[in-house]
Each structure stands twice: as structure tokens, then as C-alpha cells.
Amino acid sequence: MGLATIMEAKKIILIVSGKNRAPAVRKLIKGKISGRFPGSILRRHPEVTVIVDRVAARKL
């Protein structure tokens, strides 16, 4: 499933876990929307919920 299809959803729930995901979570939450990080486009969706565990959130 591509990002265009995901962006068509009414609601998006993203579940992230693990220490290796911490840099990506930081980019998603605090970074600029950029083609260099395609997941950042999720910030433009009006109904996104991001659920992270403690280790994935450690760089926030």
C-alpha cells in the first residue's frame, strides 16, 4: 500500500515500536514535511494517531 492510498483513509493509526524506530519517529513528529522523508506527508492528514512505545519515543 502506498502513501497516496493511505492518505485517502478517513483516519490513520500508526503504531511504532522499538529503539531502531526512534529517529524516524522524531522526523515524523518534529521534522519538516519533505520528499526526503516520505512518511512526513502523514502530518498533512487531518486524522492521524501515532502510538509509540517508550523506546521509539526516546528521541522526542
- Which pLDDT score, from 0 to 100, does residue 48 have? 97
pLDDT in tens, 26-54: 999 999 999 999 999 999 999 999 999 99
In degrees, rounded to 5, the angle at the alpha carbon of residue 8 between the alpha carbons of residues 41 and 3 is 40
25 exposure class (CB count in 10 Å sphere: 0-12, 13-18, 19+): buried
Domain boundaries defined on the chain: 3-52
State how far the Cα of 26 lies from the Cα of 11, in Å rounded to an integer: 21
- Which pLDDT score, from 0 to 100, does residue 21 have? 97
